Structures are given as structure tokens and as C-alpha cells.
Amino acid sequence: MGQCASRSRSKDGDRAAETIGCLALVKEQRSRLYILRRCVIMLLCWHKNAKAKKKCN
């Protein structure tokens, strides 16, 4: 997870490759957070609907 700061910067090509690697890491983390957020919302809605069904019975 700490790949962005772990490499030394000696050449412009290395720096560009490192930047691309960091951007890919950020994109992956954003995707993971999106999935996690969607799962939490789904579970909260499911829990809310389960309570509402119990009250109706």
C-alpha cells in the first residue's frame, strides 16, 4: 500500500513510471471504497426493511 513513497527518484522516466503506479494505486483504492460504501448502504437498507416487515406482521 505504501508504494508511492518507497522508491527513490533518480530519472524522469522513473518518476513518470512512479506517478503512473501511484495513480493506479489511488484508482484501485477509490474502487475499493466505492464497493465498500455500496455494501454498507445495501446492508443498512436491508436491515431497515427487515425491521419494517417485522412491524407489519
What number is the average pLDDT over the span 1-27? 73
Which residue from 28, 23, 17 is spatially nearest to 7, judged by alpha carbons? 17
Q: Give the type of residue at 17.
A: A
What number is the average pLDDT over the span 21-46? 95
Q: Taking the model in full, what pTM does it have?
A: 0.58
